[in-house]
Structure formats: C-alpha cells, structure tokens
Structure 1
Amino acid sequence: MSLLSANWTALFYLIAAACFVLALKGLSSPGTARRGNLIGAGGAVLAVVTAFLSEDMDHVVPILVAIAVGCAVGVPAARRVAMTQMPQLVALFNGVGGAAAALVAGLELTLEADAGGIAAAAGAFTVLVGCVSFSGSCVTFAKLQELMTTRPVTIKGGQYLFGGSLAVAVALAVTVVVQGSDGQPEAWTLALLALVSLLVGVLFVLPVGGADVPIVISLLNAFTGLTVAASGYVLNNTLLLVAGTLVGASGTILTRLMAAAMGRSVTSILFGAFRPSTAVMAGTGPERPVRSGSADDVAILLGYARKVVIVPGYGLAVAQAQHTIRELAELLEARDIEVLYGIHPVAGRMPGHMNVLLAEANVPYEALKEMELINPELRTADVALVVGANDVVNPAAKTTPGAPIYGMPILEVDQAQQVVFLKRSMRPGFAGIENELLYDPKTTLLFGDAKDSLTKVVSAVKAL
C-alpha cells in the first residue's frame, strides 16, 4: 500500500519539476550556479523519495542496495575528480543515464503483456537513442582521457557503414513497434536493436576530432534527456517526461550555441572528417626552428608592457596553475600594467570550465573577457601570454581550408605585439595539427610545466 495519495504525489512531483527549472535558471550565471546545483539536487531527492512513497514496491531491498552501490561509486568519483577531468566525468555520467533509460524501457516492454503501439514506439526510441548515447559517450570519454587518439578516426566507407547501421537500427525499432502493437515485443528484437544501436553510437562519434568532442558531449546529453522523457511515457511517469524534456531542450540549445561559438554547423562537426583535409598534421613536415626564452626573458617582456592579455588553456588546468597566474597578474597590476584574461568558449574543453578554475583562484570575474570582447583588446596588447592553449589560438582556423578546426573563431593573439607561449613541448593541441604561430618571429616559447614556469616568471618579475 502506498503512503502518498495521488494528489500528494502530483504536488511533490510538481515541486520537483519546479526545482529542475530553477536549477537550469541558476546555472545560467556563475554567481548563482552553486545555488542552482543545490536546488536541482534537492528536487532530485524529493522525486526519488516521492516515488518510493507513492508506489507499491515488491523489491525494495534490491532497489536500496542498487542505490547504495550507485552512491558508493558516484559520490567519491564526483568529489575526487580533478577539474581538468570534469568533461570526461560528464561524458561518462551522461552515457550511464542513457543506458539506464534504455534498460528500463526494454525491460518494461518485455514484461508488459500488452504494450500498445504508442508505448512500444516510445520504448523502441528509448532503446535506440539511449544505446547510441551510451556507446557514443564512452568514445568521447576515451578521447578526452586520451585512451585513444583524439584525432578523427575514419575507416574506408565509414559513412556508408554508419548509414547502413542506422537504417538497420531504425528497421529493428519499427519491428519492435509492430510487435508491440500486436501484443508484446520479442526480447531478441530488443536485444538486437540495442546491439546495433551501440554500434551506431561508436560510428557516430569516432569521426569527430578532439576539439569538437565537447560539442558532441552536449549533443549526447540532449539525446539522454530525450530517452528519459520517452521512458517516462513508457512508465507513465510525468516527472520523467518533464525532467527529460528539460535536459533534451537545454542540451540542444547548448549544442547549437557551442557550434555557433565555434563557427561550425553541427553537421560539419559530426561528419566533416569525411571531407578531404589539407591541414598539416604535427610531425609530418620538416623540423623548423623556434625562438625559446627563459623565465627572465618573459618577465622583462611582461614587466615593461602596458597591456597584457592572458589566454589560459587546458595546460594551465592540468598544471593547476590558476593560483600562480593570479599572483603574476597581481604583480603586473601593481606595476600599473593592464591585465585581462581572454576566454574562448571551449577553453579547458567545456563551456565555463576555465571560468570555474579561475574563480577558484579568486580572479575577478569582470577581468574575464569572452572572445568577442577580448579580440579587439588583443590588437592593442603589448604581450599575449598563452598558457597551455593551442587550438583556440591557432591561425589555421582562418587560413587553412580543410583543417579540423577551419572556420572556428579563435582568440587572435597573433594581433598582439609580442606573443609568449608556455608549453610543455612542441606537441600539438587536441586537434593534432601544427600551429604556425609558434614559428612566428615575434613568438617566444617557454618550455616546461605551466605552474613551474609561471612560478619562475613570478620570481623574475619580483626581481625587476
């Protein structure tokens, strides 16, 4: 016997849904993001408790055990993950969500004696898209974690293999709907649909280059939201419909915004690798000289400048150098030097990733300038200090048709009077192509770990 009446259940679900909406609103601004997260988490807890109290459950103990196991895995993973690995964690959690929705919908259809055509259609959609989201998210995780190459992976006839696999998956989904209309879908049909859909997800993401992976993560997140919404229909759960629709809509909007910020269409991001490329991949051309310097050289350039623009990238995040870069900025500001930060939309590999890192170091939010605001400033900057970034400042995005990043708006550090790159080595960025700016006569390279290099520069500036 359930402990909550239908009216109380509906009221609590409505409150939970309102929490999800408020959470999304809070996440739209760095100042309210933390509160938004807490509101969303509170809504999720309320939804779970309401589900327990409003349903007659026959397997409470296994469910509680599953929740305990999930918490034992998820809480430490979320607390211990480094900020640099947050995109990988988002991809992994997103994939697990899609797989869970697909499993629930598939089991519900096989256990339901008379599914009905509409419920079977929703279930088939959930299994197909959920499995695509799961396997695709696993590939994005592997790319971001560098367990596999970050470059686009194409195989001969890959586009035809993808198209054929997708057609087979759709045909199997239609078969599930037909079987469900006549009574109950066959378990083997659902299992085969899941397997083919997993293949579709892998083939869908493999051709995507590393620089575009964050956009694909957002798209797969939207897919997961749609599967949750569809599974809500299968389970006759209104809150799942609302929550899934919110995730699907917000993920779609974010995908379009990110693609626009990168100056790309979603189609070119997903399938651009099948076009012939004319970009020079790193390591394929003759070795060329570069101008490297010492920490003292960089300190002199910075210490006698009037305006310095700092461009942080993934290398800064990996080295956890955000506190050191703030210390350097404060030293320069004490010398009446204007210091600004240029933030690319996907700096650090995820939108807002670099903003969070710098906020941890108490960098004033007003000093962080988005790309369209900082590019005019770069034209009057004496020094552009690039810390661990490569693709987001690579002129190939404007000059090399066929390059994986061609058409992507970049931070125009080449417009500054002097450019300083802090890099571990001449290894290319995530896109795997040469950056011609490294060989420009006005560019100085300081090799080493970003935190160690910045610490030496700080000491050198103090000694000026």
Structure 2
Amino acid sequence: MSFWEFTVDASYFIAAVLFIVGLKRMGSPRTAKSGIKWAGIGMVLATVVTLWHPAMEAGFFRYVLMLLAIGIGGAGAWYTGKKVEMTAMPQMVALYNGMGGGAAAAIALVEMYSGSAFHHGATVLTLAVVGALIGGVSFSGSLIAWAKLEGKMKKTIRLPGQQMINGGVALLTVILGIWIIASSGSAPVLVTIFFLLSLAFGVLLTNPIGGADMPVVISMYNAFTGLAVAFEGFVLGNAAMIIAGTVVGAAGTLLTLLMANGMNRSISNVLFAGFGVDDGAEAEGPEGEMKSVEAFDAAASFAYSDSLIIVPGYGLAVAQAQHKLWEFVQMLQKEHDVDVKFAIHPVAGRMPGHMNVLLAEAGVPYDLIFDLEEINAEFPNADAALVIGANDVVNPAARTDESSPIYGMPILDVDKARECYVVKRGKGTGFSGVQNALFFGDNTRMVFGDAKQVCTDLANGLKQI
C-alpha cells in the first residue's frame, strides 16, 4: 500500500468516525449543534481527500468545474440556511433531501451512460441501477413534498385506480432495470427511459399522500437518499460515500419507523391510505360549541396555577410566536412561581424535531422540554395545559373514537389537565382535515387569534395581575 492510499483510507476512517459521533450527538437537543459541526468536519475532510485522491486524474479544467460547483452550491446553501424562516424549515429539508437523491442518481446515470458501470461486473451494475432508481424516486418525491409544504400544490390529487397505476409504473421500472443489467452495452435509451420512469414513480407515490403525513414522508426520503448514496459509493469505490450513505439510510429508516409508530400507523398505511388528503377542509366531528375566552382570562388562570404544561404546534411556528411565548413563560416562572414544562409529540410540526428546534431558537432551556413518554403521566396532576397551534397530537378522539382516522395514535393527554386552553386562529380542522374533540371539551377554553398576538396579550395580562 502506497503512502497516498494509506492516507486516503485513514482519512476516510476518521471521517466515518466523525459522521457517527456527529449523528450520535444529534440525538439530543443539548448536543445537536456540536453534532452537526462534527459531522460537517468529517464531510469536509472526506471531500478534500476525494478531490486530491491520486486516482482521480481529473485534469485542471475538471478541477475548476468541481470547485466552482462546490462554491456555488456551498454559497447557496449558506445563504438559504441563514435566511430560511422556521416555518419553511421542513420545505428546505425536503428540498435538500431531494438534491442528495438527485445527485446520487446523476452519478449512476453518468456511470451507465459512459459504460463504466458495465465494465465492473453485474454486482456493481446492479447497485448502480438500484441507486439510480432510489435516488430518482427520492428526488422527484421530495420535490412534491416541498411543493405541498410550500403551498405550491394546495390540492392533493388521487387518480382513479391510483395504486394500480403506481404498481404498473413500478413494475415497468423494475423490468427496465433488469433489462439494463442483462444488456451487454450501455443502452443509453433504456437508461434514459428507466430514469424518467423512476422520476414519474416518485411523483405518483408522493402526490396522493396527505399533508398530515409529510413528516414521515420527508424522513423516508431522507433514508432513500442515504441508501442511494451508499450504493453509488460501491459503484465508485468510495468508502466515504458508502459509510455516510449507510449511516444516513439507517438513521432515516429508524426515524421513519419511530414516527410511524408515533401515529400508530404502518409505513404502507402512510403511503397508500391517503390520510389527510383534504388538507384543511371542514370535516364531521363532535357536536357542541367551542367556549372562547379572552387572553386576559387565560393569563389570570395561569398566574394562579401551580403547574402549566405547554404543547407547541405548527401554528406557533407560522406566527413566529416562540419568542413571545418564552417571554410570557419567564414572567410566569419569576413573578408567579409557576412550574412550566413543554410537551413535544414525536410528529409535532411538519418535520422531525421541528418543535424542538423552534423552542431552542427562542432560548427555552432543554430541561423544560419533554417528549410524550416523559410528560403524559403529568397531565392529570397539572392545573392547566396550553395548546398553541397543535391539532391531531392532542385529539382525544384517538383514544375513544374507533371511527376516527387517527384512532389508536398516541396523543398528549392535555384533556386530562384541570383546565385546558387552546390558541387557534379559527374554527377549522387544521392541516389534517380531522376535527378535534378537545375543542368541545367541558374543561377546554378557546383563545382565538394569531398566536404571536395572543402570547403578547397573555404577557400584558400578567402585568395587570
């Protein structure tokens, strides 16, 4: 083994360790920021070593193109990452997932168009084809997820015989993939049709999925992208791609399963049931009347409570109310000695960890934030619960109504608190299209209005007490 080969292998090993350490630290809000930095250092190391790998022999002009691409992509990512609003974070994650899958698919296409993949045997060619398929599906599917979350696709379209169409396209794509593997030449026409079908399948698979399931879809496509990168790592013989892709694929798969379990749904149910396809539509629900109060009355109730549990939802992010909420909470803690905690459901918001990031941005200490398993037993002993912009994750119909689409889904038991206050802009059903029985509960009071303004009014109300 030459010195260069040893240096490359050692660098890839160090990069792999940094990836794993970074991912491990991302598992906790306290260490997530440092975890991202560690993984980023590993990625920079792997990129630099790959660029200067003696086997590349890319030539000066190709190096210029690669560095130019890295510069443009890096500058664009830096700018958008700095400017993105918290409400648009899920869209950005979906978009970046898609770019990763598209890049992996592009690598496979180049290898097949040039014929390189055909010269390395059936195993490498099979991995190239599978990587192109998964990467193409992730790319187009992630773009549809982005469009849905961004509001570019406001209506979910389900074609007659949707699953038959999906199955037919998937079968045809697989047949073409097998044909490519069995062919003796590069078959550029077949490769092109194969890739276009993979893109079409990603669109057809994602389009019928309702907005309520987008967090799971984003996580699933993250796993797809990781797997595609790992497969193309085998095609290129790049250990860093294999390791990074495998780690991302495994983590994304585990997260997808955990989120599906958090909704008491299977992955197949998420992909094919079409739950929440009428996003935001009015739906049948419990009969009764919502009882509303002013923010001042809610503030008075909280001020005289010993304990308060707050449940943030996507509506909090939309209103950018996290800073005003934390200001209000600090007043409760310091001036009225109220024990305040935050409860986070596994699928709160529109992407994994959305609410954790939202609260961290406002400076909420990590020891005040609890997940469902940690906090649920405390609701029956809580004097009050405050729900801001959440819907399905606090709907008691999930426990009691067998006809409800969300029946069996683990929820935050806010209805068991002595008093429950819900901040909501209107009387609609929210993102999933399922009416919430909590809003009609005897111990529930609705505080209608923009979340940021309501939080401001709550703080002003405390000043008058």
The answer to whether the 8 Å contact 1:423/1:449 transfers is yes
Q: Name the residue aligned to 2:37.
A: 38
Residue 105 (structure 1) aligned with residue 108 (structure 2) = yes
Q: Name the residue aligned to 2:365.
A: 364
Between stretches 170-179 and 371-380, larger displacement belongs to 371-380
Q: Deviations over 1:198-248 (max 9, x none)?
A: 111112222322222111111111111111111111112121111111111
The answer to whether the 8 Å contact 1:311/1:385 transfers is yes
Q: Which amino acid aligns with 1:367?
A: L
The answer to whether the 8 Å contact 1:279/1:402 transfers is no
TM-score normalised by structure 1 residue count: 0.92
Instruction: State which of 122, 128, 131 in structure 1 corresponds to 2:133.
Output: 128
Q: Deviations over 1:372-399 (max 9, x none)?
A: 2222211122221111111211223234
| Structure 1 residue 270: Cα displacement | 1.5
Distance verdict in 2 for CA 1:128–1:227, change over 3 Å: same
The answer to whether the 8 Å contact 2:282/2:433 transfers is yes
User: Paired residues, what number?
Assistant: 457
Q: Name the residue aligned to 1:458.
A: 459
Q: Name the residue aligned to 1:224.
A: 225
Q: Name the residue aligned to 1:155.
A: 159
Alignment partners' CA distance in 2, 1:126 and 1:340: 45
The answer to whether the 8 Å contact 2:382/2:417 transfers is yes
Q: Deviations over 1:273-308 (max 9, x none)?
A: 28x999995156899642222122212222222322
SS across alignment from 1:170? helix
Alignment partners' CA distance in 1, 2:280 and 2:436: 9
Distance verdict in 2 for CA 1:199–1:316, change over 3 Å: same
Q: Name the residue aligned to 1:345.
A: 346
Q: Name the residue aligned to 1:315.
A: 315
Q: Which amino acid aligns with 2:71?
A: A
Q: Deviations over 1:305-336 (max 9, x none)?
A: 23221111111122222222222222223323
Alignment partners' CA distance in 1, 2:204 and 2:353: 28
| Structure 1 residue 56: Cα displacement | 0.9
Between stretches 339-348 and 327-336, larger displacement belongs to 327-336
Q: Deviations over 1:21-43 (max 9, x none)?
A: 11111111222211111111111
Alignment partners' CA distance in 1, 2:25 and 2:357: 15
Alignment partners' CA distance in 2, 1:403 and 1:167: 34
TM-score normalised by structure 2 residue count: 0.92
The answer to whether the 8 Å contact 1:278/1:400 transfers is no
Q: What is the RMSD computed on CA atoms of the aligned residues?
A: 2.4
Instruction: State which of 57, 71, 75 in structure 2 corresponds to 1:72.
Output: 75
Name stretches of at least 5 consecutive residues in structure 2 with no aligned partner: none
The answer to whether the 8 Å contact 1:273/1:404 transfers is no
Q: Which amino acid aligns with 2:83?
A: R
> What is the identity percentage for the equivalent residue pairs of Structure 1 and Structure 2?
44
Alignment partners' CA distance in 1, 2:421 and 2:364: 21
SS across alignment from 1:419? strand
Q: Name the residue aligned to 1:249.
A: 250
Aligned 1:389-400 pairs, distance under 5 A: 389-400=390-401
Between stretches 260-269 and 383-392, larger displacement belongs to 260-269
Aligned 1:365-380 pairs, distance under 5 A: 365-380=366-381
Alignment partners' CA distance in 2, 1:263 and 1:163: 25
| Structure 1 residue 262: Cα displacement | 2.1
Aligned 1:182-201 pairs, distance under 5 A: 182=184, 184-201=185-202
Q: Which amino acid aligns with 2:142?
A: S
Alignment partners' CA distance in 2, 1:403 and 1:201: 29
SS across alignment from 2:52? helix
SS across alignment from 2:381? coil
Distance verdict in 2 for CA 1:269–1:402, change over 3 Å: farther
Q: Deviations over 1:62-104 (max 9, x none)?
A: 2222222212322111111112221111110011111111111
| Structure 1 residue 272: Cα displacement | 2.1
Alignment partners' CA distance in 1, 2:252 and 2:285: 40
Q: Which amino acid aligns with 1:412?
A: D
